[in-house]
Structure 1
Amino acid sequence: MQKQFQDQLQKQFPYLKDKKLLLAISGGIDSMVLLYLFHELKFDITVAHCNFSLRDVESDADEEFVKSICESLKIAYYIQKFDTNGFAYDYKLSIQLAARKLRYDWFSELLSDKKLDFVLTAHHLDDEIETFLINLTRGTGLEGLTGIPAKNEKTIRPLLKFSREQIDTFAKENNIKWREDSSNASNKYLRNKLRHDVVPILKELNPSFMNSFQNTLHNLKQSQSLVDDASLIVYRKVVQEEEHQKKINISELIQLGNYEAYLFQWLKPLGFSAWEDIYDLVEAQSGKQVFSENFVLLKDREYLIVSERNFENKHDIYKIEKDSLEVNFSLKIAISKVDNISNLTNTTIFVDEEKISFPLVIRKWQEGDFFYPSGMNGKKKVSKYFKDEKFSLIDKQNQWLLCSNDEIIWIINHRTDQRFIANNKTKNIIKLETK
């Protein structure tokens, strides 16, 4: 196995040889084989061990075991003890998801703080089979059946080509020590139940099941690459990307017989999961929305608009004092006194200091707001301006106003109020510019 492993590294991960690697070592057989292999091949390695405090003295014994091995091999190591149960309770997560988040967040911190290049885990072929079956039983798209990625940003899994049986044989042949996790024997978790009850039957039905499964994964990944290519081609045709949002043209979308598949491909990476609600948006009335944790999908006339969720309070205000040089919120506005007017744009305005009162206030729009649009006679409700300019619901929610004594000076980045704008006769000119 060691020769196969070395060949696999040279073929798939040749760039690792000169990198500083962080090995995730639990003390179990898989991770101890991973540690042995990289130590024998003289890589620059550091060990990270997570004590999740889930098995009382057994967890602490795992920690001591990993420490002793690292010290005997003269390998640098880091240990982190977590209150996994408390974290899971506070964030309403399952124990497995809580442990995963704690683990990978800590690994990310170590990579950054210790100037390490990659974190390596000991996931293997049997883990891929179990993940495949878990996703299959819960319902998934093609992506959920393509296995665990060998590389995902800074995380690398170099043992995916090897089965649990190969790892077990190698560990025994090389007298590698490891710790048994008693929780692995329990069928409390779905993964363990599949491991103990389902996978053995599949192997019994087909003695070549492991090879067949690898071939299936390869074919599924090839199919996924075709889907990704088609998804990108259609995306470029149907989706308009703007600074803070993406607009999906509904009329072009519904010309595709399988448009639901494209919506799934585009929106799943953004955390969306309410697929029936999303598909219904195509025929829904304007204003209907579907949310993921960090994004919102809005039906607005002939578009589905994707944007980041706005967690700002609509009652938030920001003040500009007379001597302020800038103000920072979701935008940045620079303030300066100038002698003349130049380069007037939607993002740069010039106001007459004698016509305004400090502190100026930046706030969200409210029902009943009105202003006197530059270039027009008379006043206009801000809501009517939004309608005429075809602001979406999201645009309205995100729009900021610059005010003096609650009178609108500027619908920021869009239109000024003619009562406050400077001209060539203005003595004291203030320039405001968004960055």
Structure 2
Amino acid sequence: MNCTRTFAVKKCWGTSIIGWRCNFEYIYGVLEEFNNHINTSFPHLREGKFLLACSGGLDSVVLTHLCHGAGLDFALAHCNFNLRGDASDGDEAFVKKLAAELDKEFYVIIFNTVNYMNKNKVSLQMAARELRYDWFQGLMEQKGWSTLVTAHHADDNLETFLINLSRGTGIDGLTGIPEKTASISRPLLKYSRVQLEAYAKERNLEWREDLSNQETKYLRNKIRHQIVPLLKELHPTFLTNFKQTQHFLRQTSGIAEDHINQIKEQLFNRDNEVIKISISELMKLNPIEGYLYALLNEYGFMEWNDVLSLLTAMGGKEVRSKTHRLLKHREYLLLEEISISTGMEYAINEEDKRLEEPLKMSLDIVDKIEETGNTILYVDKETLKYPLTVRKWRKGDYFYPFGMRGSKKVSKFFKDIKMDQISKEKQWLLCSDDNVVWIMGKRGDDRFKVTDSTKMILKISIQE
């Protein structure tokens, strides 16, 4: 140990040789244990540079010093949410100074969080979360870094558990914050806030306290300051016991996930973007409510009584989440992601030879009819009025099915071929002057067919 380091230790902890030795051994032990933790559970953090989110609070400051002490290569990123006036600016200045002291790159952004909250009609906490993670992701993509490291710890995990429990959740909501995802690593999850604070005090570290964290108007703060202390008071090793319980829950969740994946392989039949699920096979599962939750929970459904009722509902009934919908069609449930329908029409001018949207098409003048199939239509070009349009079907649309006499409503044609509601909504029509030329991929209109008197044959092909 050199003199400078000895002086720094004595400056922090006094001149007692016994006290100094205990503190040094404590610091060295924590850092050595953290090093081992990184090597065992987060070896990827040694493979390249990563982004470390630092608010300036206790947790992220300790994480910063531990990562620095472990010789990891990282840059610091700080979000100024512009919510606490001079205090927010003080946090920014503090983290900037910390980055300079450790010779680390520093990135900062200032958000108008209140404006974002009002514009997007979300809570203040959700606004801050969305803003920071969007910025982190963009910064990482710009710099070519694949990992964000955050300072979530064991107490955060307990709070999240209680929040999810209070709102209603399944086993996934009780297993806690994951240590690793594809882009985020949380190496402090095994440590409690008490451990982090003890380390910071032993090292005489400075950090910033956000006084708004003391306000109990927010659910997380109320749990942190009013509920968690009572739980820890009930049993001195409550947090340790809780971590062990979550460990078992994660193992149980893994077993259940393997089983559910096997069920999905049997029941979920994908047809392009739609998943088709046999109701009769679903009904064999017991308990059906539990299986429905396990199978469909990831798609955002919350009204489970409505989902259960869908099994015996009339055809055409549906249940929606924010991202997906579940539709009853005959003996099946149809699951698909909700897409925003623009109602747009796509024009095809006479000189156009290719169309890229909403689907790929080619239009070519040919001498004769050769290859045929559902994705090819031959028409008499002189019967068309340009521009042609590609659009979704509308109520009242009709056409003259090729090879048949008389007209038929498009909706009746759909019914005859037993097309489900989702497929109807996805169906494109090729139209000339609002007359249906082709129910694309299904049936052409007899009025535009090629005859013996046709002088110019237009071949229209859908590209697979």
Report the equivalent of 2:241. Answer: 212
Alpha carbons 1:184, 1:192 under 8 Å: kept: yes
Report the equivalent of 1:63. Answer: 92
Unaligned runs of 5+ in 2: 1-29
- Aligned in 2, Cα 1:33/1:356: closer, same or farther, shift over 3 Å? same
Percent identity reads 45
Q: TM-score, normalising length from structure 2?
A: 0.89
Report the equivalent of 2:200. Answer: 171
- State the distance in 1 between where 2:59 and 2:99 align: 16
Count of residue correspondences = 434
Which residue of the other structure, out of 373, 385, 394, is the alignment partner of 1:357?
385
In structure 2, the residue corresponding to 1:102 is in which secondary structure? helix
Report the equivalent of 1:432. Answer: 460
Alpha carbons 1:318, 1:362 under 8 Å: kept: yes
Amino acid at match of 1:391: M
Is residue 2:372 matched to residue 1:369?
no
Alpha carbons 2:276, 2:334 under 8 Å: kept: yes
- State the distance in 2 between where 1:173 and 1:421 align: 87
Report the equivalent of 2:348. Answer: 320
Q: CA deviation at 1:76?
A: 0.8
Q: CA deviation at 1:402?
A: 0.4
- State the distance in 2 between where 1:338 and 1:207 align: 84
Q: CA deviation at 1:123?
A: 0.2
- State the distance in 1 between where 2:286 and 2:193 align: 43
Which residue of the other structure, out of 360, 365, 369, is the alignment partner of 1:337?
365
Report the equivalent of 2:219. Answer: 190
Report the equivalent of 1:117. Answer: 146
- State the distance in 2 between where 1:400 and 1:15 align: 48
Q: CA deviation at 1:426?
A: 5.4
- Aligned in 2, Cα 1:228/1:333: closer, same or farther, shift over 3 Å? same
- State the distance in 1 between where 2:431 and 2:346 align: 10
What pairs with 1:28-427 in structure 2 (closer than 5 Å)?
A: 28-314=57-343, 316-422=344-450, 427=455
Q: CA deviation at 1:328?
A: 3.6
Deviation per residue, 1:265-321 (Å, 9 max, x gap)? 23322222222222211111111122222322211221111122242244x322110
- Larger mean CA deviation between 327-336 and 215-224 belongs to 327-336
Amino acid at match of 1:309: I
Report the equivalent of 2:23. Answer: none
- Larger mean CA deviation between 303-312 and 174-183 belongs to 303-312
Alpha carbons 1:340, 1:424 under 8 Å: kept: no
- Larger mean CA deviation between 293-302 and 150-159 belongs to 293-302
- Larger mean CA deviation between 34-43 and 373-382 belongs to 373-382
Amino acid at match of 1:89: N
Alpha carbons 2:346, 2:358 under 8 Å: kept: no
- Aligned in 2, Cα 1:15/1:340: closer, same or farther, shift over 3 Å? farther
- State the distance in 1 between where 2:72 and 2:456 align: 67
Alpha carbons 1:119, 1:156 under 8 Å: kept: yes
- State the distance in 2 between where 1:294 and 1:194 align: 30
Amino acid at match of 1:233: Q
- Aligned in 2, Cα 1:261/1:431: closer, same or farther, shift over 3 Å? farther
- State the distance in 2 between where 1:38 and 1:338 align: 69
Query: Aligned Cα RMSD in Å?
Result: 1.9
- State the distance in 1 between where 2:367 and 2:72 align: 64
Unaligned runs of 5+ in 1: none
Amino acid at match of 2:300: G
Which of the two has higher C-alpha Rg?
2
Q: TM-score, normalising length from structure 1?
A: 0.95
- State the distance in 2 between where 1:11 and 1:128 align: 21
Amino acid at match of 1:358: Y
Deviation per residue, 1:86-118 (Å, 9 max, x gap)? 211111111111111111111110111111120
- State the distance in 2 between where 1:423 and 1:177 align: 87
- State the distance in 2 between where 1:339 and 1:38 align: 72
Q: CA deviation at 1:375?
A: 4.3
Q: CA deviation at 1:165?
A: 0.9
Amino acid at match of 1:152: T
- Larger mean CA deviation between 322-331 and 406-415 belongs to 322-331
Deviation per residue, 1:396-420 (Å, 9 max, x gap)? 2221110122221111122222332
Amino acid at match of 1:347: T
Q: CA deviation at 1:421?
A: 3.7
